[in-house]
Amino acid sequence: MQFPIIYLHIPKTAGTSFRISAEHYFGPWNVLNDYGENSPNTSEDILNAFYSNNDIELLKSKGIEKKFLTGHFSLGKYREVFPQSPVVTFFREPVDRVISEYVHFSTHYGFEGGLADFYRKKHFQNRQARAMSGAAPMDIDFFGITEKYEESLRRFNNRYGTNFPMATLNQGNYTVGNQGVASDDEIAEIRELNSDDVAIYETALANFDKQDKSPHTVLLTAERYCGHLGGVRNEKMYGWTVDRLSEQPAQLKVSVNGEMRLSGVADIFREDIRRKGIHINGKCGFEIPLETLGTVAAGDRISVRTADDSYELPNSPMVMPAS
């Protein structure tokens, strides 16, 4: 399997939740966003390689360094650029999706027309089918169902060896006929105008349980840990570590000049790490009083690694400074 995973973010299908989960798991620095040339959410690498220079080779070199590529684009845009990358998306009941997008545009973008004014615009019709560029759900590597989001996320994690956390953001919780948003006649017209989406959604529902459930031959465990050894302040060594394959705090061990001195967990709240989207609740920091390490002298090399010895934190080993 080649990186990045390509995620078609079809508007109002739980795409924001899935993207944020990817950022929590991979780290935001490993995620490329393409929401259009004028969107503040589009990554600099995409703007420079694609929109400014149309440099496909530069785009390829930037893309393979990342783990996840997402945005409001169609299947055809990046499939030839990254032909070995898995493609995933979510599908949603078409009437619910249209109503949710209408409410979103009215609330956040100042759309002043009524529901019918919105759904009669070509731009908002058959968004799911157009995103797929004529392909069927079974033509891509994995698809989820928005109404089965939790189960879809579990299957995605099992398939790719990831541990995307459950997140529900930017939701418009509208179902057919609820809250009096649409009349029966409007619902019927939405279905008619979005007949391609109705067809692709029904196909997705019928085939959801028929997808390949076997784990990918290449799992993404190389990105299990991330962290940083910050340094020493107030007679304490500090830093942070995240274990992306577990909801529990990362287990650590500390050595001085190669001699194991201490083990513990990274579970102190770090607002900066939570705010950057690196850890879902921010409880991933550590502070180790130097006195707990026994005798430590200037010039000693202090190493912080995960308990399974598979990952040494950046900036480790740290040379103990003179006091």
Whether residue 172 has pLDDT greater than 90 = no
Whether residue 92 has pLDDT greater than 90 = yes
Distances (CA, A) of 229 to 142, 221, 246, 249, 315: 37, 21, 20, 16, 5
Whether residue 162 has pLDDT greater than 50 = yes
pLDDT computed for residue 168 by the predictor = 58
Cα separation, 289 vs 264, in Å, equals 12
pLDDT computed for residue 215 by the predictor = 61
Percent of the chain with pLDDT strictly greater than 90: 54
Assigned CATH class of 5-210: alpha beta
pLDDT computed for residue 242 by the predictor = 87
Q: What is the mean pLDDT of residues 146-154?
A: 94
Q: Give ranges for CATH 2.60.40 in the chain.
A: 224-319
Give the pLDDT confidence of 237-266 residue by residue, as tens digits. 899 998 876 778 899 999 999 899 999 999
Q: 99: Cβ–Cβ under 8 A, 6 or more apart, which residues?
A: 115, 172, 174, 181, 182, 190
CB-facing half-sphere around the CA of 254: CA atoms within 13 A = 25
Q: Give ranges for CATH 3.40.50.300 in the chain.
A: 5-210
> Helix count (H) and strand count (E) of the chain?
11, 13
> What is the distance of C-alpha 87 from the center of its chain?
14
Question: Among 170, 180, 73, 56, which Cα is nearest to 127's?
Answer: 73
Considering Cα of 117, then 90, then 13, then 277, what sign does the dihedral take? negative
Give the pLDDT confidence of 178-188 residue by residue, as tens digits. 456 789 999 99
3-state secondary structure of 268: strand
pLDDT computed for residue 143 by the predictor = 97
Three-class secondary structure assignment of 38-78: CCCCCCHHHHHHHHHCCCHHHHHHHHCCCCEEEECCCHHHH
pLDDT computed for residue 78 by the predictor = 92
Whether residue 174 has pLDDT greater than 80 = no
Give the pLDDT confidence of 260-313 residue by residue, as tens digits. 999 999 999 998 887 766 777 788 999 999 889 888 888 889 999 999 888 899
Q: Quick one: tokens of 64?
A: 């393979």
pLDDT level of residue 173 (50, 70, 90 thresholds): low
What CATH number does the domain located at 224-319 have? 2.60.40
pLDDT computed for residue 180 by the predictor = 66
Question: Is 21 within 8 Å of 165 (Cβ atoms)?
Answer: yes
Neighbours of 37 (CB within 10 A): 11
Q: What is the mean pLDDT of residues 73-81?
A: 92
Cα separation, 135 vs 219, in Å, equals 26
Task: Quote the mean pLDDT of the chain.
Answer: 87
